Amino acid sequence: MIRSYTWADFLTIGNASCGTVSIFLCLDYLATGRPRFLWAAFILLPAALVLDVLDGYVARLDKKRQSVLGADLDSLADVISFGVAPAVLGFTLGMRGGWDMLILTYFVVCGVSRLARFNVTASALADETTGKVKYFEGTPIPTSVVIVIMLGFAQYFGGVDDNLWLGVTRVGFAELHPLALIYALSGSAMISATLRIPKP
């Protein structure tokens, strides 16, 4: 299978690897309580975004060798790096209340749904002459890097657990970190059918 990979596919694998290692670093922090490499969990996700942009660029350059796996590989890598990893990072920083976990799950499910919709509708949305998709329906899942950057500032200036920006509050039977609502907004924007963003 590796012999069938293009250079773009290797960049996509790099994207997935960044997201996976970020998750492992979060788990290390949860297991040990020592924030020795937690900063790297933040940095790896923007690095995954750079690789995600590069894989598309390299794929367009190498028109003679189109990857059959490319689109699916890209979506699967994006789910890890821009869906699961940011959610795990939020959980790691203290968003562990009942409402928090529900919101983080919603965010990941929205990301998966958005990527599946794009894969299914890409041919219908493509320009007839160039074959390129003209616009995204909903915000692309890599926009979750904005959440990661916000969490980086929240962690740096506020700490973790209940010290995150805006603290924590009890709503009914479970706790909610108001900062978790950013994930809910991001997830809703991803699955919006009315929000159309031109594709570069």
Return the closest-CA partner of residue 143 out of 101, 195, 97, 93.
Answer: 195
Average pLDDT over residues 57-72: 73
Residue pair 88/20 in contact by the 8 Å Cβ criterion: no
Cα→Cα distances 188→33, 37, 106, 110, 140, Å? 33, 31, 9, 7, 11
Q: Is the pLDDT of residue 27 over 80?
A: yes
DSSP 142: G
Half-sphere exposure of 135 (CA within 13 A, CB side): 8
In the structure, what pLDDT confidence band is assigned to residue 184 with cuts at 50, 70 and 90?
A: very high
Report the interhelical angle of 181-190 vs 145-158 (nearest 10°). Answer: 170
What is the structure's pLDDT at 200?
59
Domain of residue 115 covers 2-198
Question: What is the tally of structural domains in the chain?
Answer: 1
Q: Is the pLDDT of residue 132 over 70?
A: no
What is the structure's pLDDT at 35?
85
Dihedral in degrees, nearest 10, Cα atoms 172, 175, 180, 183: -60
In the structure, what pLDDT confidence band is assigned to residue 6 with cuts at 50, 70 and 90?
A: confident
Q: Is the pLDDT of residue 131 over 70?
A: no
Which of 107-116, 149-158, 175-184 has the least mean pLDDT?
149-158
Q: What are the pLDDT digits (tens) for 67-114?
A: 667 778 999 999 999 999 999 999 999 999 999 999 999 999 999 999
Dihedral pair phi/psi, residue 76, rounded to 5°: -65, -40
State the CATH number of the domain containing residue 175. 1.20.120
Cα→Cα distances 166→155, 162, 169, 177, Å? 12, 9, 9, 7
Residue pair 77/15 in contact by the 8 Å Cβ criterion: yes
pTM value is 0.89
